[in-house]
């Protein structure tokens, strides 16, 4: 038995089979050293007469879960993955890919180049490149359709879908699903294949109904908003059915090389790395989190029930507390209906749903809080109400329990001071619907202990959220920036734009919805209540737009009342604002002495983005955000900022700094008294 090691790839001769093990933790990314090691290993396999086959396996917890994205913004060094794959296919001896954990991106492309694939149950396979603004660049668009067909390949590649080993077996992407000793199974398969090559490249793309392909294409275009990578992926997959494979591979690689250096791809890679960085605590706050197995959620409304579902899905025990039996029963029903719908849709097995619901303990007894390791208050967004709840929490929660408030705007310290243990209090700002939205703002109060902050961040990860640390300021990161954005959009109404023009310009930019459609959806009365609460402290010199107030006074509270900025006959939005709204807007312009003018889409987009960027710089300077990239994560994950634009910070870094500063000064003039021009250097210097 001979063993050799080269960089991140280890080879071991076991009888007449060469074991090729990739060891590049944590995900065995297909970096340069891995590609070099694989090249040397395949050359060894070809050269040694006493070897009949090879097995490529991943060390640690996975096969190859993608490429090294850090290389994509630089000139790629040889050997590149297509050359490694060509070497495997040209080798006269069969190679088996032994998959476990995940085979994603370049990892799946590597596996598809092998002569057979074997996987442990539960292994995930997929080609997620389009979600990063590129297309598979090592044969994924050509080999995948040769097994699954053009329509299914378009569906998988354009969505970045990850499938299980069982589904992959049904699609003929793998040859066996096994349990137990993966290496032993793979070695046995390799010996059975000795003397034979089974290359996917030699197969023909299955004949399909043109209508099925067209439907898959149109679905992908709608879901992918016709982004360049989606268009390119569809074209490349369709090439597999009409071009010789070498020509298709060459075209795929050329498009991949173009896309990987595009601004969109840079933006998506920025967001990818920013999300991973956001979960890391600053050195001064690093501590061991407190153990959490039982969570109490106070309030069984839409938000509280959603939080409870998150915790149940994560395997935690949940105490759901309400003020009376009627409200508690409604909350239980919300949880039950969620699991019923998931089971009906085939998303969750009935036994799993039943086990999750069995961990739910509904109660109206405050004494039950004493069993909880962490208590989350999720009641009405009103300071006196939340303070009253925290008095009761303080009286019943056990010593050492973490006490969290789910608030969107309110002062965490003002809530914490109602307890005898402010060091145990933090904010956990979930986004609605809590069981769907990935973002979680973890808010550190003035006296919050480091291990409590660490517990909040660890809980976010356990709930499969993206936790982002925030300082305690009005609106934290997300709502503070969104408030500045919304305010600027309201200024543009007075200056001459109609709500539909603003909404259209921003959805054209890539926002999921425009600000006025969002306001109607969430209910204008929410913002109205907040404005009335702040009225006494508002500087009378500040530019204040009262359009929303007047709409609310007329009973136009948004979708729920059938009218807000827009009308909703039969529940569907009328795209143009009506005469009532326009009259209110025109009156607001007149009262401010503004001569209305047309604002084009470019001006609307730039003013909205500038407002965000300015507020982001202010928050960073105040320490509300720990790092610039955290701001981008919050805005993309929680507020519909287009992911392919990277976030407001990334966008700002693509602009000319002098022009940006000049435009901010102009924005200050348009915004009036109280607008503070930020020092953008804190954002622009990575």
Distance CA 439, CA 450 (A): 21
- pLDDT value for 203: 96
| Torsion, CA 518, CA 524, CA 529, CA 532, rounded to 10 | 100
| Shared domain check, 162 and 107 | yes
Show Cβ contacts of residue 263 under 8 Å, excluding neighbours closer than 6 positions: 654
Distance CA 667, CA 683 (A): 18
Residue 550 placed within a domain: yes
| Shared domain check, 75 and 120 | yes
Average pLDDT over residues 520-537: 85
| Shared domain check, 487 and 377 | no
Asked whether residue 61 carries a pLDDT value surpassing 50, the answer given is yes
Burial class (CB in 10 A: 0-12, 13-18, 19+), 414: middle
DSSP E strand boundaries for 108-224: 116-120, 124-126, 162-164, 176-178
Percentage of the chain modeled with pLDDT above 90: 92
| Shared domain check, 197 and 95 | yes
Check which CATH number belongs to the domain holding 671 and give it.
1.10.1040.50
Distance CA 484, CA 639 (A): 13
Check which CATH number belongs to the domain holding 240 and give it.
3.90.226.10
State the catalytic residues.
109, 129
Residue 656, φ and ψ in degrees, nearest 5:
-70, 120
Per-residue pLDDT tens digits for 192-249: 999 999 999 999 999 999 999 999 999 999 999 899 999 999 999 999 999 999 999 9
Residue 222 placed within a domain: yes
374: helix, coil or strand? Answer: strand
- pLDDT value for 382: 87
| Shared domain check, 621 and 510 | yes
Residue 281 placed within a domain: no
Residue 177 placed within a domain: yes
Cα 151 to the chain's mean position, in Å? 26
Contact yes or no for 251/239 (Cβ under 8 A): yes
Q: Which of 394, 458, 460, 455 is nearest to 422 (CA)?
A: 394
Tokens of 347: 């998303």
Per-residue pLDDT tens digits for 389-439: 999 999 999 999 999 999 998 999 999 999 999 999 999 999 989 999 999
Considering Cα of 628, then 633, then 638, then 644, what sign does the dihedral take?
positive
Show Cβ contacts of residue 349 under 8 Å, excluding neighbours closer than 6 positions: 343
Packing angle, helices 150-159 and 140-148, rounded to 10 = 130
Average pLDDT over residues 334-352: 95
Asked whether residue 526 carries a pLDDT value surpassing 90, the answer given is no
Show Cβ contacts of residue 236 under 8 Å, excluding neighbours closer than 6 positions: 135, 136, 141, 142, 248, 251, 252, 255
Distance CA 547, CA 577 (A): 13
How many residues does this entry show for the chain? 686
- pLDDT value for 6: 53
Tokens of 176: 């066996």
Distance CA 577, CA 493 (A): 12
Asked whether residue 160 carries a pLDDT value surpassing 70, the answer given is yes
The enclosing H or E element of 484 equals: helix 478-495
Residue 391 placed within a domain: yes
Contact yes or no for 184/126 (Cβ under 8 A): no
Residue 6, φ and ψ in degrees, nearest 5:
-135, 110
Higher pLDDT, 5 or 249: 249
Whole domain around residue 363: which residue ranges? 292-474
Q: Which residue has the tokens 């989606």?
A: 230
| Shared domain check, 306 and 250 | no
Q: Which of 182, 177, 138 is nearest to 157 (CA)?
A: 138
What is the DSSP secondary-structure string of 274-321? HHHHHTSPPGGG--PPPP-SEEEEE--SHHHHHHHHHHHHTT-EEEEE
β-strand pairing of 425-430 with 360-363? unpaired
Considering Cα of 162, then 166, then 170, then 174, what sign does the dihedral take?
positive
DSSP 648: H
Q: Pick left, alpha or beta for residue 215 (phi over 0 → left; psi -120 to 50 → alpha; otherwise beta).
A: alpha
Cross-strand partners of 443:
427, 470
| Shared domain check, 365 and 297 | yes
- pLDDT value for 421: 97
Residue 410 placed within a domain: yes
Residue 285 placed within a domain: no
Per-residue pLDDT tens digits for 166-190: 999 999 999 999 999 999 999 999 9
Distance CA 144, CA 152 (A): 9
- pLDDT value for 257: 95
| Shared domain check, 509 and 611 | yes
**Among candidate residues 439, 474, 509, the one where a domain is terminated:** 474
| Shared domain check, 205 and 92 | yes
| Shared domain check, 544 and 455 | no
Distance CA 318, CA 489 (A): 41
Tokens of 368: 């039950």
Show Cβ contacts of residue 577 under 8 Å, excluding neighbours closer than 6 positions: 498, 499, 500, 565, 566, 585
Average pLDDT over residues 23-40: 94
Per-residue pLDDT tens digits for 579-618: 999 999 999 999 999 999 999 999 999 999 999 999 999 9
The enclosing H or E element of 444 equals: strand 439-444
Distance CA 89, CA 83 (A): 10
**Among candidate residues 452, 474, 496, the one where a domain is terminated:** 474
Residue 324 placed within a domain: yes
Cα 493 to the chain's mean position, in Å? 32
- Please, what's the largest Cα pairwise distance for the chain? 91
Show Cβ contacts of residue 66 under 8 Å, excluding neighbours closer than 6 positions: 27, 29, 30, 104, 105, 106, 107, 128
- pLDDT value for 1: 45
Query: Domain total for the chain?
Result: 3
Contact yes or no for 190/17 (Cβ under 8 A): yes
Distance CA 633, CA 437 (A): 13
Contact yes or no for 304/433 (Cβ under 8 A): no
- pLDDT value for 686: 66
- pLDDT value for 504: 97
| Shared domain check, 233 and 325 | no
Asked whether residue 533 carries a pLDDT value surpassing 90, the answer given is no
**Among candidate residues 417, 443, 474, the one where a domain is terminated:** 474
Check which CATH number belongs to the domain holding 340 and give it.
3.40.50.720
Q: Pick left, alpha or beta for residue 149 (phi over 0 → left; psi -120 to 50 → alpha; otherwise beta).
A: left
| Shared domain check, 343 and 222 | no
């Amino acid at each position: 038995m001979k063993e050799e090691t080269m960089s991140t790839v280890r080879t071991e001769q076991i009888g007449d089979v060469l074991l090729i093990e990739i060891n590049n933790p944590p995900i065995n990314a297909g970096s340069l050293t891995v590609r070099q090691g694989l090249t040397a290993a395949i050359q060894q396999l070809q050269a040694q007469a006493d070897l009949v086959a090879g097995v490529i396996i991943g060390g640690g917890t996975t096969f190859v879960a993608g490429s090294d994205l850090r290389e994509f913004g630089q000139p790629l060094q040889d050997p590149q993955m297509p050359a490694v794959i060509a070497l495997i296919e040209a080798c006269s001896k069969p190679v088996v890919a032994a998959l476990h954990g995940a085979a994603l991106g370049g990892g799946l492309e590597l596996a598809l180049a092998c002569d057979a694939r074997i996987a442990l149950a539960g292994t995930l396979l997929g080609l997620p490149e389009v979600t990063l603004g590129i297309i598979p660049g090592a044969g994924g668009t050509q080999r995948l359709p040769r097994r699954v067909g053009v329509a299914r390949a378009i569906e998988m590649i354009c969505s970045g879908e990850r499938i299980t080993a069982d589904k992959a077996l049904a699609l003929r992407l793998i040859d066996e699903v096994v349990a137990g000793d993966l290496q032993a199974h793979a070695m046995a398969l390799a010996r059975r294949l000795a003397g034979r090559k089974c290359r996917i490249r030699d197969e023909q793309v299955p004949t399909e109904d043109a209508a099925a392909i067209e439907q898959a294409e149109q679905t992908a275009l709608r879901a992918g908003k016709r982004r360049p990578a989606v268009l390119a992926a569809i074209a490349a997959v369709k090439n597999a059915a009409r071009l010789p494979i070498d020509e298709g591979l060459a075209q795929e690689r050329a498009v991949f090389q173009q896309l990987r250096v595009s601004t969109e791809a840079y933006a998506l890679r920025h967001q990818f790395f920013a999300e991973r960085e956001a979960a890391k605590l600053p050195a001064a706050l690093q501590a061991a989190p407190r153990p959490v197995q039982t969570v109490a959620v106070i309030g069984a409304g839409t938000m509280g029930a959603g939080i409870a579902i998150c915790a149940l899905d994560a395997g935690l025990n949940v105490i759901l507390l309400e003020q009376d039996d009627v409200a508690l029963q409604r909350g239980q029903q919300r949880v039950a209906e969620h699991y019923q719908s998931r089971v009906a849709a085939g998303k969750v097995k009935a036994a799993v749903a039943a086990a999750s619901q069995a961990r739910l303990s509904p109660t109206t007894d405050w004494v039950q809080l004493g069993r909880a390791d962490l208590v989350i208050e999720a009641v009405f967004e009103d300071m006196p109400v939340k303070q009253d709840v925290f008095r009761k929490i303080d009286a019943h929660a056990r010593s050492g329990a973490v006490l969290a408030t789910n608030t969107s705007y309110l002062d965490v310290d003002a809530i914490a001071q109602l307890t005898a243990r402010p060091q145990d209090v933090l904010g956990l700002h979930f986004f609605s619907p809590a069981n769907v939205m990935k973002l979680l703002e973890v808010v550190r109060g003035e006296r919050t202990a480091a291990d409590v902050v660490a517990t909040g961040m660890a809980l976010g990860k356990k709930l499969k959220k993206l936790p982002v640390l925030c300082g305690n300021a009005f609106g934290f990161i997300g709502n503070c920036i969104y408030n500045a954005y919304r305010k600027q959009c309201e200024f543009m109404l007075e200056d001459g734009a109609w709500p539909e023009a603003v909404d259209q310009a921003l959805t054209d930019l890539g926002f999921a919805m425009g600000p006025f459609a969002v306001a109607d959806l969430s209910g204008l009365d929410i913002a109205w209540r907040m404005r009335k609460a702040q009225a006494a402290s508002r500087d009378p010199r500040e530019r204040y737009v009262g359009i929303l107030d007047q709409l609310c006074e007329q009973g136009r509270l948004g979708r729920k009342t059938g009218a807000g900025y827009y009308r909703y006959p039969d529940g569907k939005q009328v795209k143009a604002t009506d005469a009532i709204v326009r009259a209110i807007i025109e009156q607001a312009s007149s009262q401010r002495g503004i001569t209305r003018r047309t604002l084009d889409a470019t001006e609307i987009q730039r003013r909205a983005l500038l407002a965000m960027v300015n507020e982001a710089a202010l928050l960073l300077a105040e320490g509300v955000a720990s790092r610039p990239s955290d701001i981008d994560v919050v805005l993309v994950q929680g507020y519909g900022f287009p992911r392919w634009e990277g976030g407001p910070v990334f966008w700002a870094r693509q602009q000319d700094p002098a022009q940006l500063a000049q435009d901010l000064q102009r924005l200050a003039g348009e915004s009036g008294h109280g607008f503070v021009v930020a020092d953008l250097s804190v954002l622009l210097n990575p």
